[in-house]
Structure 1
């Protein structure tokens, strides 16, 4: 049983979208029968309306149980005491395996504490960075440690990847969770009712709502319900709240007709009132137009069959569709007039469409669909069974460079049956800071890269352990393989048939011990829709060094393509050669070769304006959405992961026939890349292109990281 603390900055005594989110998270985690939730309250509980709705499985650490850690008179948990509060939770309920954290202050504290860093799972609804400020320190540390991060929408995930360089593999999309457990009140045919439920925030369009309510005394067929949460920013907006207080008093005194006002309702009572409405008022002022957090209230109204009236924003259109009839352009339309127009549509085709759409939305956000997603994010390791039940593995990984292991490690992060320890090598030839050794409880040594690490371990193998070595292209042509004691190596991993044959012929390695496992890809993360201009965009990943990647060959091909069809563009994603000292300052003519190619790009009329250079970055899954065909122009490669990733994303490929290419990408390989010009043009215009893209993608599923991880543990 895994024990998970839930820690948020929210005051659980108040009722608003964020505390409803916290309640629903507790409910959702409770559905995971192998996870025991422990809610750590950051404020005193002065109103138990939400607490009464917590499942019995949720253990609660009350503020009073941690208040002795704080300064006298403190009314909330401070960031500096977060780890101490979690220590109290452990003393009361047992060791914590994970901490699910919402709130920048708490994250800031916990990700910098070694004892908690690897147990944190972060949640953030705010994913658009403020470019006027440095990145938050918690985000820098969390990204470096590949801490699992939960966001609310695909747009938010894309923003984290593209704008904050967060690794796609550890960003999990878990939208607001809705439990369809409300006692629904019967909905009267008349009057047509508009409902608002949430905090009283001036930026939540409450001024428009009040103005609309003022028109109701003369509209006997219309009504409004306001279910009020807390007042927000009262001190900042005295004039607004002065007007609102008068309105509230008039409604409660009966002076305002056709308006109901409720406050201090339980969550269940609020949803029962919401279900009586025909429409939900979910408009906000323009301040919130660029927010990419999905409103819990929008999802709740949808689950109740109440169509929400929404701002006309990209997020709302991505969720409800372009044809949803109840968007409001708050900058160009009269909001109150538009509300009347919408409310007059009950019974029309537009209303039926909106109700059908809310049913679709609610199904996407149901607890049954999302509980496993949140469970996977919290566990931090794949649910695939990599180790036989009852078995445990303790693996020592010896390497100078971990960059090709990250996604593999994400699969097993925190798996109680898999324990990974590290042996750090300074370089390909030097260990450090300590002399290498193999602890007695290690059952397997994995040498990532067949360099001096593999040489040492092959000559110092301890009896009873297994030794697995992975060979990349880099070291295959150096002296390391000749000095490895291959008799001591239980399994050699290579990336293609070409390297298998090389190791058999040149070094006498037993072919039965060689396993072809190309560098893995995260196939699921690459299943994203293509951008409209992808059909006519070629992609090239990496141009350094010159004689390896052969940038000139790619440009030759692209020029021939442009001569025949000028619709095409080329996107080059790479570090520039002058940014790499060993490339730009090398004692060879590579610098001149690069300069010649760049001069050609800017001078040749066929190429001018058609080549763009995208800076290198980790958000490759998003970048491939804009690529219709990937190029591989290299003289040599191991398995060219970018081609595998692009094909998995649904791109076509043109691959120069480098050694080993045909064993991986046969139908895409050309002895002369120019022979593919007509193929690329035909593919861009092919009516059957969607089916072909799906076929390309399926052909790469065999290289998914989950399969690689399973194969590795079989070794």
Structure 2
């Protein structure tokens, strides 16, 4: 990323109040600015304190836009901005000087901006106030989330758990998600290194005061601890007291009484972030224990990480996310008020437990610093806003590119990259099928384009080859099935500048089976977004086999995958085969084949008749959430009779799974010899050797490195950028993609 980017940032939060949302806005502005972005932060409320804003005002790449002071929202007065007012203001600011990205937080706010429509494609949306359980994620909840995903360039997710949940429940988010965890500042002070004693236990809570955050119960802790012979003080920092609800209507009154009157409680009110952290550094233990109804949350508390950055141990709920962060044996997990009291009494009597908790929190927080966030943001910005070769035409106008296709499922990320290039303008000619299109639209586009990319070799290729203009560049990518149809013969071959195949084997077949000039046939492999697949693995993954897309089973050979897992389970019943696919009956043109029906039925009957296989094969839902699904997969099988490329093993490799590829024709031009197996017995032997021999981790590491070298998205799209304006060389004899 060499050009200077401009970002508009807004959270539906009051920057006068210190809470997690406001701290997020401050931290995000600083992280973007430190990543080299010019940031404009719009303020929702009139400024009454600069506790959070002063660090932003001091940064030379952050501009604070205060509508209340600048009069940019007519009739606003002292009222806070509504989502509709912000949507109009954002469009107005963008018209004055275009923003490259618009970072927004808040479900209602984002819905309003999406409905406005003027910032589509540039939204980086961060949502936490959305359903986070399967029960809540109804069709009615998915619909607006789908609209948001469709309008977003990036969907920012706080945790890997939330990311996987969204990708599974809202398919439109797949391919758009990016991790954006909480950010904590570099600690300028540190908590005490000596553990507390029964004579002196200092507790701290910083944040909002709300019923489900158990802040009322916290004010009782000093008195309860005194009953156990522990002298304690609670230092409470914050000034935002939530309203009551049906469970506790008088919560505000009782909360204030607890802060002002409860024995051992010292209420410091609202404080600048630096002062609040300095206060926390004087304590022995931080409190972030919440009501059990929040245990299903897929988020991480920023405050837990801020405490950890000081070396301050935290009392918090035992949840899968917290166990992943701090370890299952972390000593300060608590489920009830009694648990909290018992844990605090214990650490005053056993200093080693306190030291263990402090070290766990310090280590966990180290991965969430502002510096790390800025580095991660810079890397994401580099992916979204790539550098590019000179592509402009005479006079400096952008290169005009048309993509004509009936199906872009294998072209999505290449299309995203082309659209992101500042020197390229892209338009689509969407064909209804291989044969059907709006000819008037196609004529208009062929007259406009400098370059036409034909994805699939159907009638689109025949039509554009006959209507190509002088000086226009025509690029055709064909896949496996077209070679065995009459479509290539309908193309005016001399009009096509370059023909792209996805593997050396199919490039060779294209030269042999079509009349395209051999020197015009080149290989650009399928892409794998290695970064998107690089996610933590389930601990049991090495015992899990995966097959993706098994229809038609007569060619993909589901039966051989079942053979593999059956033999494995005879040795170790922990092995399981997961199949992520539609089945043959979901495709009418496949299901009409009687051999296909018989083969699938035979496999299903076999699973039902064997107790071992019935428990050992799982059919998962078909969908684009492959990266999330692969977290549980340790081996990806390719048992097909033939493939043009077979992307599944490569995606598995990017996820840290080991590929096992049957020796189908051309496999050795794509995958390294170490992954290719001659038969089922060889696959079984290889799996057992790696798992029981303890070499699975090393093999997975090698696989990930190889796929990054051969098929990583940035390298593949670089070839697509080049082919827009120059001919690529044809394959040398014996070319293979993965050494």
TM-score normalised by the chain length of structure 2: 0.87
Contact persistence 1:376–1:383 (CA under 8 A): no
- Select 1:353's aligned residue among 350, 353, 356: 356
Q: Distance in 2 between matches of 1:338 and 1:534?
A: 34
Equivalent runs, 1:1-40 vs 2, <5 Å: 1-33=4-36, 35-40=37-42
CA distance in 2, matches of 1:510, 1:399: 23
Partner of 1:231: 241
Change (3 A) 1:567 1:95: closer
User: Which one is further off, 179-188 or 438-447?
Assistant: 179-188
* CA-to-aligned-CA distance 1:190-217 (integer Å, 9 cap, x gap): 8441111111112212233212122577
Q: What does 1:284-683 correspond to in 2, within 5 Å?
A: 284-330=290-336, 333-345=338-350, 348-375=351-378, 377=380, 379=381, 381-382=383-384, 384-388=386-390, 393-432=399-438, 434-437=440-443, 438=445, 442-562=449-569, 567-584=574-591, 586=592, 588-604=594-610, 607-665=613-671, 666-683=673-690
Q: Residues 217, 673 of structure 1: CA spacing in aligned structure 2 closer, same or farther, 3 A cutoff?
A: closer
Distance 1:150-1:238 versus aligned 2 partners, 3 A rule: same
Residue deviations 1:1-31, cap 9 Å, x none?
A: 3322112211222221111111211222222
Aligned positions, number: 703
| CA shift for structure 1 position 530 | 3.3
Answering whether residue 126 of structure 2 is matched by residue 123 of structure 1, we say yes
- 1:204 corresponds to: 213
Structure 1 position 327, deviation (Å): 2.0
Question: Residue 103 of structure 2 is aligned with which of 100, 103, 106?
Answer: 100
Within 5 Å, give how 1:130-149 maps onto structure 2. 131-132=135-136, 133=138, 134-145=140-151, 147-149=153-155
* Equivalent-residue separation in structure 2 for 1:185 and 1:693 (angstroms): 40
Structure 1 pair 259–148 and aligned structure 2 pair: CA distance change class (3 A):
same
The counterpart of 2:277, out of the listed 271, 277, 283, is: 271
Moved more, 123-132 or 104-113: 123-132
Q: Structure 1 residue 95: deviation in Å? A: 2.6
CA distance in 1, matches of 2:336, 2:608: 45
Say which of 244, 248, 255 aligns to 1:244: 255
Q: Quickly say closer, same or farther: Cα 1:471–1:288, change in 2 above 3 A.
A: same
Given the superposition, is the C-alpha separation of residues 155 and 564 from structure 1 closer, same or farther in structure 2, using an over 3 Å criterion? closer
Secondary structure (helix, strand or coil) at the match of 1:247 reads helix
Counterpart in the other structure of 1:50: 52
Decide whether aligned partners of structure 1 residues 421 and 344 sit closer, same or farther in structure 2, where only a CA change above 3 A counts: farther
Partner of 2:442, secondary structure, is coil
Deviation string for 1:252-301 (max 9, x for gaps)? xxxx4x54220132222222212221211111111211112211211222
Query: 1:27·1:55 contact (CA, 8 Å) conserved in 2?
Result: no
- Go from structure 1 to structure 2 and tell me whether the alpha carbon gap of 1:10 and 1:605 turns closer, same or farther (over 3 Å shift): closer
Could you tell which deviates more after superposition, 185-194 or 272-281? 185-194
**Taking structure 1 as reference, are residues 373 and 192 closer, same or farther at Cα in structure 2, changes over 3 Å only?**
same
Return the offset for 1:561: 4.8
Task: Name the CA distance, whole Å, in 1 between partners of 2:143 and 2:14.
Answer: 24
Q: Secondary structure at the match of 2:475?
A: strand
Match of 2:733 in 1: none
CA distance in 1: counterparts of 2:242 and 2:581, whole angstroms: 47
Say whether 1:704 aligns with 2:707.
Answer: no
Residue aligned with 2:239, SS: strand
Would the aligned equivalents of 1:386 and 1:709 in 2 still touch at CA under 8 Å? no
Tell me the equivalent position of 2:732.
Answer: none
Any conservation in 2 of the 1:169–1:410 contact (CA below 8 Å)? no
Return closer, same or farther for 1:123/1:326 CA change in 2, 3 Å cut-off: same
8 Å Cα contact 1:469-1:493 kept in structure 2: yes
Does the aligned pair in 2 maintain the 1:9–1:102 contact within 8 Å? yes
Shift of residue 344, structure 1, vs aligned partner:
4.2
What is the aligned counterpart of 1:77 among 67, 76, 81? 81
Q: Does the aligned pair in 1 maintain the 2:40–2:64 contact within 8 Å?
A: yes
Query: How has the CA–CA distance of structure 1 residues 146 and 598 changed in structure 2, closer, same or farther, with 3 Å as cutoff?
Result: farther
- Preserved contact between residue 195 and residue 348 of structure 2 (Cα < 8 Å): no
Residue equivalent to 2:691 = 684
Please list every run of 5 or more consecutive structure 1 residues that lacks an aligned counterpart in the other structure.
none
How big is each residue's C-alpha offset from its partner over 1:565-598, in whole Å with a ceiling of 9 and x where there is no partner? 65533222111222333333x2644323322332
User: Shift in Å at residue 642 of structure 1?
Assistant: 0.9
In the other structure, the counterpart of 1:195 is 204
- CA deviation map 1:670-707 (0-9, x unaligned): 44434433333333312122111212222222111111
Could you say what secondary structure the match of 2:312 adopts? coil
Distance 2:505 2:28 in 1: 50
Cα 1:511/1:60, change in 2 over 3 Å: same
Structural RMSD (CA): 3.1
- 291-300 vs 532-541, which deviates more? 532-541
- Whole-Å separation in 2 of the counterparts to 1:223 and 1:570: 55
Question: Residues 259 and 266 of structure 2 are in contact (CA less than 8 Å); yes or no, is this contact kept in structure 1?
Answer: no
SS in 1 for 2:168: helix
Which stretch has the larger CA shift, 464-473 or 660-669?
660-669
Q: Is the 8 A contact 2:528 2:712 kept in 1?
A: yes
**d(CA) in 2 for partners of 1:605 and 1:29?**
55
**1:59 matches 2:45:** no
Rounded to whole Å, the distance in 2 between the matches of 1:417 and 1:108 is 31
Q: Which runs of 5+ in 2 are unaligned?
A: 724-739
- Quick one: distance in 1 between partners of 2:446 and 2:488? 25
Deviations 1:594-624 (A, max 9, x none): 2233222212456333222111011112222
- Range with bigger deviation, 157-166 or 393-402: 157-166
How many angstroms does 1:65 deviate by? 6.5
Give the Cα–Cα distance (whole angstroms) in 1 for the partners of residues 574 and 382 of structure 2: 44
- CA-CA distance at 1:370 after TM superposition: 0.7
Shift of 1:432: 2.1
For 2:564 and 2:245, locate their aligned partners in 1 and report how far apart those are by CA, in whole Å.
65
For residue 140 of structure 1, report the CA deviation from its aligned partner: 1.0
| Matches of 2:220 and 2:616, distance apart in 1 | 53
Contact 2:123/2:151, CA 8 A, preserved across alignment? no
Mapped contact 1:107–1:138 kept (Cα < 8 A): no
1:547 shift after superposition: 3.2
